[in-house]
Chain A
Amino acid sequence: MKWESVSDFFAMGGYGLYVWGSYLVAILCVIGEVVWIRIRRRTLYKHLGLRKGSILRGEK
């Protein structure tokens, strides 16, 4: 293991702010896109009278 401790891992050799600032926003972007697409789907399904299901199962 290249990290000596958990805090060593989060410190990222002093660049923690920049590394985690990048990764955090990347995660937020992905979550944001998934949430946005789910809202769009729910609105459309309600409008069309289709029943709900899992978006990733890709059911009919």
Chain B
Amino acid sequence: MTINWFKYASPASFYFLAGRMIPYFSIAATLFLIVGLYIAFFSAPTDFQQGEAYRIIFIHVPAAWMSMFLYVVMAFWAGIGLAFNTRLSSMMASAIAPTGAMFAFLALWTGAWWGKPMWGTWWVWDARLTSELILFFLYIGFMSLQAAIDDPRRADKAGAVIALVGVVNVPIIYFSVQWWNTLHQGASVSLIQSPKMATAMLSGMLIMVLAAWMYSIVMILIRARLIILERERHTAWVSELKEGVLE
């Protein structure tokens, strides 16, 4: 049996596939969020150093991880779109940017509200905080540039350049706590060491990460479908959709 892998690279096929997947990811996002928040507030113990203030971790870490991960995915699709001129890839990049920007903002915001009680300051120009702020500006720059260019194909190309140049910032954020002497603490969770936190704290955090993943997928799929409709509005399949032939 052969599978046509390129079938879903067509915006029309992807539009319907995405529409069928959205309900499942929405349910998963809701379930993970409920379980994650329950663990965050009722099952995870009080931290021996930070008291209850550490509970900000359950949004701070998922938001920060998602902001970096989504940027890499956005740059990947923008790069594929630039190199191979594939329409759907560039549309995916545009669909990811607002959700990525939202998570970058949340990482900064929750970081400030965690920094105030723990470090005594809302903000410091430390390598980790500054590079995350640059990530937020890169998302904003990508979206503003695309919004400023009328021709979508040219907007895709210009956006791809920003996205690809900016991707160098992601490893800088990740390694900033090792390369520089930062106020921000080092990684509590890594692939090579056992985690430096209680099991309930860790499991709550990872479930919140899954919730953030599922939420991002839902938002990105919905937005991708809108972008596809917008850009393909003069095509035959959208006309059929309007006339109700494709029910």
Query: Does B215 contact A30, Cβ atoms closer than 8 Å?
Result: yes
Query: Does A49 contact B242, Cβ atoms closer than 8 Å?
Result: yes
Query: Does B242 contact A15, Cβ atoms closer than 8 Å?
Result: no
Chain A nearest CB: distance from B71 CB in Å? 17
A3, A26, A56: the one within 8 Å of B23 (CB): A56
Query: Does A41 contact B59, Cβ atoms closer than 8 Å?
Result: no
Given the contacts A13-B51, A18-B56, A19-B56, A26 and B110 also touching, CB distance less than 8 Å: yes
**Which residues from A are CB-within-8-Å of B41?**
9
> Once the chains are docked, how many angstroms separate the CA of A15 from the CA of B117?
8
Chain B, interface SS category: helix
Q: Is the C-beta of B167 less than 8 angstroms from some C-beta in chain A?
A: no
**Which residues from A are CB-within-8-Å of B242?**
48-50
Q: Is the C-beta of B238 less than 8 angstroms from some C-beta in chain A?
A: yes
Given the contacts A14-B51, A18-B53, A18-B116, A60 and B246 also touching, CB distance less than 8 Å: yes
Interface positions, chain A 8-58, Cβ under 8 Å from B, are: 9, 12-15, 18-19, 21-23, 25-26, 29-30, 32-34, 36-37, 40-41, 44, 48-50, 55-58
Query: Does B19 contact A59, Cβ atoms closer than 8 Å?
Result: yes
User: What sequence of 0s and 1s flags, for each residue 194-222 of chain B, a beta carbon within 8 Å of any chain A beta carbon?
Assistant: 00000000000000000000010011011
Closest B residue to A14 using CB positions: B51
> Once the chains are docked, how many angstroms separate the CA of A13 from the CA of B51?
7
Chain B nearest CB: distance from A6 CB in Å? 12
Query: Does A18 contact B22, Cβ atoms closer than 8 Å?
Result: no
**Which residues from B are CB-within-8-Å of A12?**
52-53, 55
Closest B residue to A32 using CB positions: B102
> Once the chains are docked, how many angstroms separate the CA of A40 from the CA of B228?
13
Q: Is the C-beta of B42 less than 8 angstroms from some C-beta in chain A?
A: yes
Residue of B45, B52, B99 contacting most chain A CB atoms (<10 Å): B52
> Once the chains are docked, how many angstroms separate the CA of A38 from the CA of B241?
19
Interface residue ranges, A against B (CB under 8 Å): 1-3, 9, 12-15, 18-19, 21-23, 25-26, 29-30, 32-34, 36-37, 40-41, 44, 48-50, 55-60
Instruction: Return 26 A-B CB contacts under 8 Å, by A number.
Output: A2-B42, A2-B46, A12-B52, A14-B51, A19-B55, A21-B113, A22-B56, A22-B113, A25-B110, A29-B102, A29-B105, A29-B106, A30-B215, A33-B98, A33-B99, A40-B226, A41-B226, A44-B230, A48-B229, A48-B242, A49-B242, A50-B241, A56-B23, A56-B218, A58-B19, A60-B16
Known: A15-B52, A58-B22, A60-B246. 10 other contacts (CB 8 A): A2-B42, A12-B55, A19-B53, A26-B63, A33-B99, A57-B22, A58-B18, A58-B19, A58-B221, A60-B16
CB-CB nearest 4 A-B residue pairs: A58-B22, A13-B52, A58-B19, A15-B53
